[in-house]
Amino acid sequence: MFDFITADVVIALVKVILVFAVMLVLTMLVIWMERRALAQMQSRVGPNRWGPFGLLQTLADGIKLFFKEDFRPRTADKWVYAIAPVAAMVPSFLAIAVIPFGRDVRIAGHEIGLIISDLNIGILYFLAVGSLGVYGVVLAGWASGSKYPLLGGIRSTAQLISYEIALGLSIVPIVLAAGSLSTVDIVAAQSSSLGDVTFFDDIPVLEQISHAFTFMPKWYIFSQWPAFLIFLVAGIAETNRAPFDLPEAETELIAGFHTEYSGIRFAMFFLGEYIHIVAISAMAVTLFFGGWDGPIFDFLPWAWPLLWFALKTAFFVYLFVWLRATLPRLRYDRLMWLGWKRLIPAALGWIMFTAVVNTDGISRGVRLATFGALFAVVLLWVWRGDPRLKGIVAPKKGAVRGAA
């Protein structure tokens, strides 16, 4: 009956439980870090009462939320109201499953990869569970039976769908360059040095410049930085964080989709959001910063990759907090303009460029031409500013006079 429980299944279970536990503790730390860092940036003190440096403050808040009254508005849809917080939390946890956080280790004769599941379509899996994350927000907004949550829910549908496209398109060049949809392969593809890059060979000046950088690792941030910028902006928008926190917008929507939630249900939204931040940060590290790649020393060789991965991820989590303290919220039409008219066309253009560059055996002329074309496009973009739909969005003066 239970012969399907093998060593592999047990290993997988242990990995899942360990990562889940680490994620919960990590969320505690991230929330503490955010409150302390924000306080420092705003010349405040921040939580400093419970535990050293107020480290246990989040634990205290968690216990408080757990024992709070579970309130449900009379107009709320009973079942959907209950499902929404879970739907917001689960996809964030699932996204962690395809992120490699260390080199393979050997325990009791089993070769164990430090990743929950090395799917051969890992990137698509990440996008798939990311796209399911929309439901938590949308359903919470609708099921609360109240106007501000509904507005927040509708806003977030539009925002998340728009930026999901940009997020997906920004990953495509990485897949093209690495030739694989597996996150483990993508990390492996970044492990050599920049000396392997042959793109600028036989091109004078550029060849010498590129050879000066051979000591650097071949992380995709160097060759794929436009994709990284698009990924970062779209990733922040996907987590509903400032400056893209329109679905919550406490000053206009009174916290938007989770206005009517309290106690443990609110805690689930909160948890989901922070896990999502960690997941996007870890994915940025995996795709563009070589994952766990870094110098490995003889002392505890298995621990170094974990350390590098943790440090890189921590930097991006800090970046999220930093941005929140720095940038004001975008206006809704600006948000849509940025997503559809800037990020998506830029991502599509970059995909075409990467596709040409990664074709086998392309000649020097083609390489020069693509490089020149890209340079020209960037120059034109900077020069001309905003090409806009004249006469459609803003009507011509003659038309306005005629109407008057």
**Which residues of this protein are in contact with other proteins, per CB under 8 A?**
1, 3-4, 9, 77, 79-80, 83, 119-121, 124-125, 127-132, 134-135, 138-139, 141-142, 150, 153-154, 157-158, 160-161, 164, 168, 181, 333-334, 337, 385-386, 388, 391-395, 397, 399-404
Token couple for 153: 């829910």
The count of other CB atoms within 10 Å of the CB of residue 106 is 9
Residue with smaller CB distance to other proteins, 25 or 161: 161
| In the complex, minimum distance from the CB of residue 75 to other proteins, in angstroms, rounded to a whole number | 12
Q: Supply the DSSP symbol for 23.
A: H
Residue placing its CB nearer to other proteins in the complex, 134 or 234: 134
Least distance CB 342 / other proteins (angstroms): 10
The string of DSSP letters for 87-116 reads HHHHHHHHHGGG---S--EEETTEEE-SSS
Nearer to other proteins, 205 or 404 (CB): 404
Q: Please provide the distance, in angstroms rounded to a whole number, between the alpha carbons at the two ends of the chain.
A: 82
Query: What torsion do the CA atoms of 117, 118, 120, 125 make, to the nearest 10 degrees?
Result: 40
Q: What is the smallest separation between the CB atom of 58 and other proteins, expressed in angstroms?
A: 31
Smallest distance from the beta carbon of 263 to other proteins, in angstroms?
A: 23
Task: Output 108 or 403, the one with its CB closest to other proteins.
Answer: 403
Least CB distance to other proteins at residue 176 (A):
13
Q: Which is nearer to other proteins, 131 or 358 (CB)?
A: 131
Nearer to other proteins by Cβ, of 26 and 280: the residue is 280
Residue 121 CB, shortest distance to other proteins, in Å, is 5
Nearer to other proteins, 157 or 262 (CB): 157
Q: How far apart are CA 37 and CA 321, in angstroms?
A: 7
CA-to-CA dists, residue 86 to 51, 79, 351, 386, angstroms:
30, 12, 35, 42
Closest contact distance (angstroms) between CB of 162 and other proteins is 11
3-state secondary structure (DSSP) of residue 260: coil
Q: Residue 107: what are its φ and ψ, rounded to 5°? A: -125, 120
Minimum Å gap between C-beta 337 and other proteins is 5
Which residue, among 289, 343, 347, 348, has the nearest Cα to 319 in the 3D structure? Answer: 289
Q: Which of 277, 292, 312 is nearest to 113 (CA)?
A: 292
The residue (of 120 and 192) whose beta carbon lies closer to other proteins is 120
Beta carbon nearer to other proteins, 31 or 140: 140
CA–CA distance from 217 to each of 32, 192, 287 (Å)?
A: 33, 6, 14
The CA–CA distances, whole Å, from 33 to 39, 43, 89, 198 equal 10, 15, 21, 42
CA 346 – CA 229 distance, rounded (Å): 10
In the complex, minimum distance from the CB of residue 387 to other proteins, in angstroms, rounded to a whole number? 11
